[in-house]
Structure 1
Amino acid sequence: MQYLLPIGIGLLYALLMSLIREPHRRRFNAIMVAGAGAAYLSGGGFGPWELAFTALVTYVAYRGLDSWTFIGVGWLLHTAWDVVHHLQGSPLLPFAHDSSLGCAICDPVIALWCLLGGPTPRELLAAARAALRPPVREEQFR
């Protein structure tokens, strides 16, 4: 359950965010990844590196205002930061020992959704159907 719940949270995040219409969805997600980049500032165990990481993610989030790819990259950067914090024993939530691990599992799910362009479930299903259709060959029409 420790590993499945974060995946479910990531899927729920994507589902709820897909209710926001574009272009607001992309911009809102850029703000969300910027906030996630600052999540460790108050209790992070890496001193000044916390500030450097926050500055990096802020830049990536700014670029994400116009690019789903940058938002996805921001979530992947946050995933790496979660892993480092988990290995060091400096969790995101001081009262929840494995919170950074959970975040490291959840964030790539969100990143994948962002790298796909932040699609709605309907757009995602349409793309999956199109990908599963067999290719049409010209010989079939002769």
Structure 2
Amino acid sequence: MSGPAGEQRIDHDLVWVVEDSAEDAEAIARALRRTHPGLALDFTDRGTGFVERLLGAARRPGLVLLDLKLPGPSGPDVLRSIRSRPELDGVAVVAFTSSTGPDEVDTTYAAGADSYIYKPVNFELFRAVLKGAVDYWQRKAKSGDEGPGAQPPS
């Protein structure tokens, strides 16, 4: 599905998850299926070839949940690759990771992350954090707010 002039459509009910831990991927799937049953999820366990998949997709996800510790290119490397492609500007990228070091947070935002979220160990909190992130990015997309100064809808 393409938009005007052959542009690929951003689907805000589609989330792509880049997560190499099968356990964390399963937890993400369980959490989002409970809180957002209509959300389509797509999973990959590595960053290699991810940008090419995004570029070639008929429907681009409105949101990418990106782990930072990946085999092959790291999360920040994948993020820099995404942000180097203007045709992917409409895709929100949220680092969802167990990494909490201030340098890692700074590096991730410098690479172009829209948000940085720490993975809680408790499943209920894990689910609540994911729900909040998805709700926020879906509201933002529907309101049409763009740019770093945009306020979340009330």
TM-score, length-normalised on structure 2? 0.29
Greater relative contact order structure (CA < 8 Å, 6+ sep): 1
More helix by share: 1
Tell me which structure has the larger Cα radius of gyration: 1
